Amino acid sequence: MRWKKLSKLRCIAKQFLISFKVGGGKKIFLWYDIWHPEGCLFDKFGFRTIYDAGRSIGPKVSSIIRDNNWYWPSARSENLVLIQSRLPEISLGGENVPIWRSSSGKYSCSQTWEHLRPKFSVVEWHNLVWFSLAIPRHAFILWLVFRDALVPKEKLCSWGFTGSSLCLSCFACQESRDHLYFCCSFGRRVWRNIMADCCVYNPPIEWSSIGSWSAECWKSRNLQATICKLCFGATIYYLWRHRNDLLHGNVPRSEEKLIQQIKWDVRSRLVARYSAKICVIEEPSAGAEMESATDFEII
């Protein structure tokens, strides 16, 4: 069953990845494999050319080679003239060798993926989401936010949801991405508090400018930029969790506990990387006191 599925991918591989060095041509299909400069002859010229050539659909390339020379009967159509005119470009002799269309001519997972994957323009915020120390669950939610793929109540209402669309943190505005990050008074306080711990004061609160601002400010790979990016992702993640707790009737964290949890996540990540240089920390418990705002510092 798996082989059947794999065999259905042959057309993709044939089109993008494999060509053949002809050699003797005994293992290469005349009409269906890519051995000619014009590509797959059947795909390009169709049944009519096979008919004009007076051949069946199944012969190998070796059927038109004799004594290491091309031996093709006189052309009876323009397509056959074109096919035959380019035969001298193909060298004969040696082995039949499949060639991957990569810079090296050999199979490579990375180059195959580069051939096959859809390509899009690079977004300015990619370094904020994907970097070596990024916490996967934070990065995933941050990516959804940048793609506007989360579903706040404003979007639910546009899909027919009939409940209230007000933000459950402040009950002052509709719950939307821009409101959650960080027009909402609750989210704004958390954001500014966390940024102040990173020595970033008065960060933007409009989502439309946060992406370009943070991508420009934190484009360096130094530790401070890394901490800022970790804090950014953690803030986005825990504000979304706070919203979900409110929506689903769970007991939400207080503002202080939320800030403490964000800092704990960031420091845990840093400890994992720089364990010998950062003080030992404990996971915040329900009764834990809020820790110092300078706990990100390396000692």
Q: Which residues bind Zn ion (CB under 5 A)?
A: 167, 169-170, 184
Least distance to Zn ion from the beta carbon of 174, Å?
9
172/298 with CB nearer Zn ion: 172
169/260 with CB nearer Zn ion: 169
Least distance to Zn ion from the beta carbon of 247, Å?
13
Least distance to Zn ion from the beta carbon of 213, Å?
21
128/184 with CB nearer Zn ion: 184
Least distance to Zn ion from the beta carbon of 181, Å?
11
List the one residue out of 45, 40, 91 whose CA is nearest residue 70: 91
List the one residue out of 217, 253, 209, 213 whose CA is nearest residue 235: 253
138/242 with CB nearer Zn ion: 242
CA distance 104 to 160: 55
Is the peptide bond prior to 182 cis by the omega test (within 30 degrees of 0)? yes
What CA dihedral angle connects 146, 152, 154 and 156, to 10 degrees? 120
83/167 with CB nearer Zn ion: 167
Least distance to Zn ion from the beta carbon of 219, Å?
31
List the one residue out of 143, 132, 269 whose CA is nearest residue 211: 143
CA distance 225 to 200: 11
